[in-house]
Amino acid sequence: MASMAFQVFAAILLFSFLASVLSVTNGSGDVAFDVNYSISWGADHVVSLNQGSEIHLTMDSNSGSGFQSKLEYGSGFFHVNLKTPSRDTAGTVTAFYLTSHTNAHDELDFEFLGNLEGKPITLQTNVFVNGKGGREERINLWFDPSQDFHSYKILWNRNLIVFFVDDTPIRVFLNKSNKGVDYPTQPMQVIASLWNGENWATDGGKIKIDWRYAPFVASFRGFSIDGCPANGHGTQQCSLPKYWWNTGTYTSLSATQKIAYQQVRRKYLTYDYCSDRARYHVLPPECPQLSS
């Protein structure tokens, strides 16, 4: 009887261990902040809670704040759990993104554009390649991102870039370099920030920040990183299939993901640069080339 009890106890321990390993592998992010990240600016506006398992970036009229990964990466599945500032947040920008540090930089953006209380917070994504952006897409989320934590993820490999919200793909940028379309290949750092974007963020900059609602607070959890460190050697080795995000499963969306992706675009997409003919008389080469 004692032997059976010991076996049960050992099985429970093994299950707990495997669960903890899987939680890191699948991006649940149960890792302390300072394992992978450090504060980059506005240190006196950053609050660490629960032994570094939660970080609050704050902003007032004096400063915003931000943090960054300690390493640069050449591919990966990058994720964070985030809750945006609440109430009247017009003019504020909460960002989670990847960026290289070159003059002609690559960048992959999640940007939450604050709004007047009661109006939706816009989620904008953008892709920069070799210093050229202008690839904005915007959606109104199907939930209020200021009320609870939600997961935001960026898959980046040699085949495609996918932006996810709570595991739902909201944007796909395919590697069409064989058709003359530039694609991000530079090592990139993971960055999060809360900053003053009142010159453009809300209604084109017409609505400014109401500092009576300061300090604004953006909360972050989930600080594990599933990425290939570039280590100063470029990104070529980061395309190897030994990294799970480079395997066949991640060369395209699954059938289920494609359905969810189309539903998001149909219901929640409010702006797509590929549809903006006033801005682009000749559409960028990655866009579907529709007849005039």
Q: Give the residue numbers annotated as catalytic, written as ranges.
A: 107, 111
Q: Report the SS3 class of residue 275.
A: helix
Number of C-beta neighbours around residue 198 at 10 A? 18
Residue with tokens 């690839």: 135
Q: Report the SS3 class of residue 3.
A: helix
User: From residue 269, how far is each of 151, 153, 155, 171, 260 by CA, in Å?
Assistant: 19, 18, 20, 10, 13
Number of C-beta neighbours around residue 62 at 10 A? 10
- To 5 degrees, how large is the angle CA 131–CA 136–CA 142? 145
CB-based contacts of 288, cutoff 8 Å, min separation 6: 274
Q: Which of 255, 9, 221 is nearest to 96 (CA)?
A: 221
Q: Determine the Cα–Cα distance for residues 206 and 187; give it in Å rounded to an integer.
A: 36
Classify residue 272 as exposed, middle or buried by CB count within 10 Å of its CB (0-12, 13-18, 19+): middle
